[in-house]
Structure 1
Amino acid sequence: MVASQGLHVRLKSMGEQLTIGELARRTGVATSALRYWEELGLLPPPARVSGQRRYPPSAAGLVGVILMLQDVGFTLREAKAFVASRSPDGDGRRELYERKLAELDQRIARAQVARTAIAHGLACPHENIFECPNFTKGVAAILAGGSLEEVHEQIHPD
């Protein structure tokens, strides 16, 4: 059994192949997405029997890996690089993890600033937010090319 998004996928015996429909049913991924992933090189080209795609049982596990990578924020391009990095001589996986972690840290920091800005908006004593001097200063700073982080620091220096 291979775990995929919390769903246990029972695989056929090792000699049997999966049609694209079977792979889709077992993994919960649309056939169109599987074809697209194949086109991108995320899934290896399957064997063909009478013109039908036939995937090895291990393809379900690979689909699970791709789904997990998407869930943690990897793009399909990054997922492809991650899958390619599984070769014994590939150090790319660690670099991908480090780069994605740094990106997530930046997104979290921006989300925290956004949350603080929204909380300030909720706490604003002005009935009309457009009359709040802090809000209008913030809008002016954004229009002048400032980032939300810079605007927040100008309005609320801690």
Structure 2
Amino acid sequence: MGEQLTIGELANRTGVATSALRYWEDLGLLPAPARVSGQRRYPPSAVGLVGVVVMLRAVGFTLREIKAFIVARSPAGDEWRELYQRKLAELDQRIAQAQVARTAIAHVLACPHEDVFECSNFTGGVAAFLAGSSLEEAHEEIHSR
């Protein structure tokens, strides 16, 4: 049967808590391991699979998306590419939103008013946002006057 890892050994090698490993197993991210006297025994390849889950989490995939990726990976299929393309588009959107938010915060910090609530640009932006404009639209609106 070769070298088998206990859940504690897998946790030590990957830096992932045993509770997370059990949870990931329940979700189907990790295959159910063999049992020896009731204890989980993982093959050495489980280290790499846990590493994939950790890396995908680090780049922004949810556990649900990771499960879809693991299920979709097959030598004949390209479904995993679609998952990556959707995540890339989502990240591009989040980056754009973060850039708009950063610009808005920088403008608030550069405001010459002692009290930002007395600034017509700030209050105009808030009003535009409350009226349904996106943060970017509200920012453009107050700076196009």
**1:153 match:** 140
Count the aligned residue pairs. 145
Aligned to 2:41, the other structure's residue is in SS state: strand
Q: 1:114 aligns with which of 96, 101, 104?
A: 101
Q: 1:8-157 maps to which residues of 2 (within 5 A)?
A: 15-157=2-144
Partners of 1:30 and 1:138 lie apart in 2 by 45
Deviation, 1:146, is: 2.0
Deviations 1:37-82 (A, max 9, x none): 0010000011111111111110000000111101111111111111
Deviation, 1:88, is: 1.3
Deviation, 1:141, is: 1.6
Identity of aligned residues (%): 81
Gaps of 5+ in 1: 1-13
Aligned to 1:53, the other structure's residue is in SS state: strand
Flag as ranges the 4+ runs of structure 1 deviating above 3 A: none
TM-score (norm 1): 0.87
TM-score (norm 2): 0.95
Q: Which amino acid aligns with 1:67?
A: V
Partners of 1:157 and 1:15 lie apart in 2 by 70
Deviation, 1:87, is: 1.2
The structure with more helix, counted as a fraction of residues: 2
Partners of 1:95 and 1:23 lie apart in 2 by 31
Partners of 1:52 and 1:29 lie apart in 2 by 18
Q: Which amino acid aligns with 1:64?
A: G
Aligned to 1:34, the other structure's residue is in SS state: helix
Gaps of 5+ in 2: none
Deviations 1:99-146 (A, max 9, x none): 000000000000110011011111111110000001101111222222
